[in-house]
Amino acid sequence: MARPLCLVPTMGALHEGHLALIRAAREKVGASGTVAVSIFVNPMQFDRKDDLEKYPRPLDRDLAACEAAGADLVFAPDPGQMYAADHSVTISENRLSTTLCGAARPGHFTGVCTVVMKLFLLFRAEFAIFGKKDFQQLAIIRRMVRDLHVPIEIIGHSTVRESDGLAMSSRNVRLTPEQRAAAPSLYRALSAAAGLLKLGERQAGPVLDAAKHYLAQTMTFRIDYVALVDAETLEPVAVIRRPALLALAGFFGDVRLIDHIELHADF
């Protein structure tokens, strides 16, 4: 493989958000470098068996999309190639993973860290790029790289959204037409709450209340969490004095969606 190499880890069911990562990877390494995409539905990071079973796997379509977006190679292993039948070693992060999705999905980020480290070891890439939509995941991977001295640069790419504001996700295809019509309310709720900062609000309470009030009007959506945390430590904040994250997660039926908006004291 020509160097430098940029790895784009995915679980497949690619959409425009993934393709934006591939194009950004190409820009990073140039025409002479290598863009490698991994497609692996990692069973270790699913906390519900039904969610794993229903996760879409359109591999042929994904391969064509990777080629069209400029990827040089695709790594699409079977679970048995990634995990020995008696595998017993995992990688856990025990600070950033205790809030947000980590609090609601025990073991999820152990699965993420373990498979991502495997990919880093297999590819020995100079760069890896991840979408900011999974902000907690990105923060945890950066912490893992820092703490374990992994020789790779982690690049975060801005969330890619549909024209109505819904964050692109492979899970969106599982929404019913009615749920899909309601789903943009998630980002509107975040934006409405963030708008309080422009009016001078810095207390977490009113910002969180505004987001929850908006979400309560979104029929069929069940809130998992709405949280305001420090953008670096992911710990809850009471007053916004430095970059923060207003994040939410919840369910339309059995489809779990997440979203967030970054906040700044000078917003």
Contact between 244 and 231 under an 8 Å Cβ cutoff? The reply is yes
C-alpha triplet 141, 231, 91: angle, nearest 5°? 20
Catalytic choice (15, 18, 108, 264):
18
**Dihedral sign of CA atoms 195, 201, 207, 209 in order:** negative
Contact between 145 and 125 under an 8 Å Cβ cutoff? The reply is no
- Tokens encoding 128: 């890896």
The Cβ of residue 177 has, within 10 Å, a number of other Cβ atoms equal to: 7
DSSP state letters, 109-144: HHHHHHHHHHHHHHH--SEEEEEGGGHHHHHHHHHH
| Whole-number Å distance between alpha carbons of 4 and 254 | 41
Is 18 in the active site? yes
Place of tokens 């004095």: 241
Indicate the burial class of 142 (C-beta count within 10 angstroms; 0-12, 13-18, 19 or more). middle
Contact between 29 and 99 under an 8 Å Cβ cutoff? The reply is no
Which among 174, 175, 168, 176 has a CA at the least distance from the CA of 55?
174
Amino acid of residue 124: R
Q: What is the dihedral of CA 43, 45, 47, 53, to 10 degrees?
A: -30
Place of tokens 């692996």: 40
Which residues carry out catalysis? 18
